[in-house]
């Protein structure tokens, strides 16, 4: 798998994304935008994107902070994340610019099928892909994994184009049931094509192997295995108008 760092302007920051693809595959593949958690474009995030891309997608791991900044966790990660979340317009500009970057870079290399686009986000990134969808971005599917579900700019009827899939833990303390209920009301209120799957008893970040904050964020191998299989089926069904 090739991993190439890509410098691009995203909103107000100069980002350093990671473009990931299997150079042994000759056919053009659908495009997958991967929004990482609040640590940034870390090596685990890139490794996860490699596994997700395989021989099926060209993926871009998005740098939402700029300059390729990464951190080890709180309090820095909290500060960086909240700086993005506090300005939803800027966050949406960065996400949409990253999508445009993925299309341009894949086209430049002759490896991508830009008629098929999807986005997957983890935690902070889960919130970012939902904001991408809410902005009316031209993607077939967005999948939020144990993501930030709140927004100050709810989706408007007729503007949301993507099919939305939220995969969550029923005991996630970071985005509790009240947030899921609010998202449900938002999606139903605009007639969105959406799904929500709760994994019973799972906490935050259950699909990320490197995660362990006892009682808050805990990896779960079974839920992770099912998650990656199910989300791929969802994206493929979105591409083929089967949802």
DSSP letter string, 129-170: HHHHHHTT---SEEEEES-----SS---TTT--SEEEEEEET
User: What mean pLDDT, rounded, does the chain reach?
Assistant: 96
Expressed as residue numbers, the domain containing 209 is 2-239
> What is the per-residue pLDDT for 213?
83
The stretch 106-129 carries a mean pLDDT of: 97
How far from chain centre, in Å, is Cα 182? 20
In whole angstroms, what is the distance from residue 8 CA to residue 53 CA? 21
Quick one: 188 exposed, middle or buried, by C-beta within 10 A (0-12, 13-18, 19+)?
A: exposed
Contact 205, 146 (CB under 8 A): yes
The stretch 92-101 carries a mean pLDDT of: 98
Q: Phi and psi dihedrals of 222, rounded to 5?
A: -65, -45
Give the model confidence (pLDDT) of 135-178 as tens digits. 999 999 999 999 999 999 999 999 999 999 999 999 999 999 99
User: How many Cα atoms are found within 13 Å in the side-chain-facing hemisphere of 18?
Assistant: 23
In this structure, what CATH number is given to the domain that contains residue 9? 3.40.50.1820
Task: Return the structure tokens found at 15.
Answer: 């980002």
Contact 143, 117 (CB under 8 A): no
Contacts of 68 (CB under 8 A, 6+ apart): 5, 15, 16, 40, 41
DSSP letter string, 67-112: TT---SSTTHHHHHHHHHHT-HHHHHHHHHHHHHHHHHHHHHHT-E
> What is the per-residue pLDDT for 212?
79
Strand arrangement of the beta sheet that strand 112-122 belongs to: 2-10, 13-21, 58-61, 29-35, 112-122, 141-145, 163-169, 194-199
Give the model confidence (pLDDT) of 166-185 as tens digits. 999 999 999 999 999 999 99
3-state secondary structure of 177: helix
In whole angstroms, what is the distance from residue 127 CA to residue 116 CA? 21
Judge whether residue 210 has pLDDT over 90. Answer: no
Considering the chain, what percentage of its residues have pLDDT values greater than 70? Answer: 100
Number of structural domains (the chain) is 1
Contact 105, 6 (CB under 8 A): yes
Judge whether residue 231 has pLDDT over 90. Answer: yes
């Amino acid at each position: 798998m090739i991993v190439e760092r890509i410098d691009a302007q995203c909103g107000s920051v100069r980002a350093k994304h990671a473009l990931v693809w299997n150079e042994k595959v000759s056919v053009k593949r659908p495009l997958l935008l991967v929004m990482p958690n609040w640590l940034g474009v870390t090596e685990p995030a890139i490794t996860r994107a490699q596994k997700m891309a395989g021989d099926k997608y060209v993926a871009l791991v998005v740098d939402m902070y700029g300059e390729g900044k990464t951190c080890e966790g709180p309090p820095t990660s909290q500060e960086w994340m909240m700086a993005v979340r506090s300005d939803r317009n800027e966050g949406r500009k960065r996400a949409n610019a990253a999508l445009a970057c993925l299309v341009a870079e894949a086209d430049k290399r002759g490896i991508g099928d830009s008629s098929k686009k999807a986005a997957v986000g983890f935690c902070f990134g889960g919130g970012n892909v939902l904001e991408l969808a809410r902005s009316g971005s031209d993607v077939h599917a967005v999948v939020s994994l144990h993501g930030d579900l709140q927004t100050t700019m709810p989706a408007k009827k007729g503007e949301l184009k993507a099919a939305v899939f939220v995969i969550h833990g029923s005991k996630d303390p970071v985005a509790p049931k009240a947030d899921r209920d609010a998202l449900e009301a938002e999606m139903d209120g605009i007639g969105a094509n959406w799904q929500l799957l709760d994994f019973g008893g799972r906490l935050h970040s259950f699909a990320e192997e490197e995660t362990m904050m006892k009682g808050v964020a805990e990896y779960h191998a079974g839920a992770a295995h099912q998650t990656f299989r199910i989300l791929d089926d969802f994206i493929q069904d979105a591409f083929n108008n089967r949802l």
